Amino acid sequence: MAAPIMHILLAFNIFSLLPDHFNKQDFMLGTMFPDIRYMANLQRAQTHIEPVCWNDVINCKSAFKAGMLFHNIVDIIRINIIEHPVYEDLKINMEPQNMSLNRVRLIMLIRKLAEDNIIYNLLSKEQRHTIHETFNHICTEELQLCPNREVIIKWHKIIQDYCERPPDLDTVHRFLCSTGGIMLKRNEELNAEKMYTELTKSAQYRENILNFINNFIDLAKENRVLTTPDYVRKFFNN
């Protein structure tokens, strides 16, 4: 699963490929809505709709729902391309006694949050302003799924704060505290701070993430965004 800036950056980059009648604000709100589920006590099935494909997004009548569907497409492809190879590597290189579920989840969390730090500057100043303005509004469809307006307002403020500047470890920690996530700074499973810092400075990790983004956008333009075998082949051949 992807972190906020990855979702938002890809949404900005593919929006021009969507039907003209789509409202951009509603699409962006829909793109970020699924991860409110932790705060709103919603079941994953209510926010992450599966199965899903690119044509479902294109043919959706609601821009908000199309955003929700797009969110899940990004999660699915990122798991296949970025997370799955990491799982396989961990199984090979990590001692079985150290392979706890909590440890694996923490490693994956650190990696996706480090991605957001790496790609933040790909957002233009105008796009960052748009994020702030977008999350000053509430879409009617948000209230239909989460009737508690205060929870939605809080979620929007969390997204605005998180996207205000390149997320450092303190920003990430505040984000996780606000949403009830795993705590990085006091976790005894591994040195989360060290891993996060090393990833944000890794030229190879940066290259992998930028390849992922560029290939995702290219395949969206070709209407092949969920042709997984082709996608995997293209990603690893770059």
Taking only the tens place, the pLDDT of each residue in 133-156 is: 999 999 999 999 999 999 999 999
Q: Domain for residue 237, yes or no?
A: no
Q: Residue 193 sits in which domain range? A: 4-223
Q: Domain for residue 27, yes or no?
A: yes
Q: Domain for residue 31, yes or no?
A: yes
pLDDT tens sequence across 7-24: 999 999 999 999 999 999
| Residue 131 reports pLDDT greater than 80 | yes
Q: Domain for residue 66, yes or no?
A: yes
Global pTM exceeds 0.75: yes
pLDDT at position 231: 43
Tokens 């799982």 belong to which residue? 87
Q: Domain for residue 99, yes or no?
A: yes
The residue with greater pLDDT, 185 or 130, is 130
Q: Domain for residue 230, yes or no?
A: no
Mean local confidence (pLDDT), 187-212: 86
Q: Domain for residue 228, yes or no?
A: no
Q: Domain for residue 132, yes or no?
A: yes
pLDDT tens sequence across 105-119: 788 888 999 999 999
Give the number of domains in the chain: 1
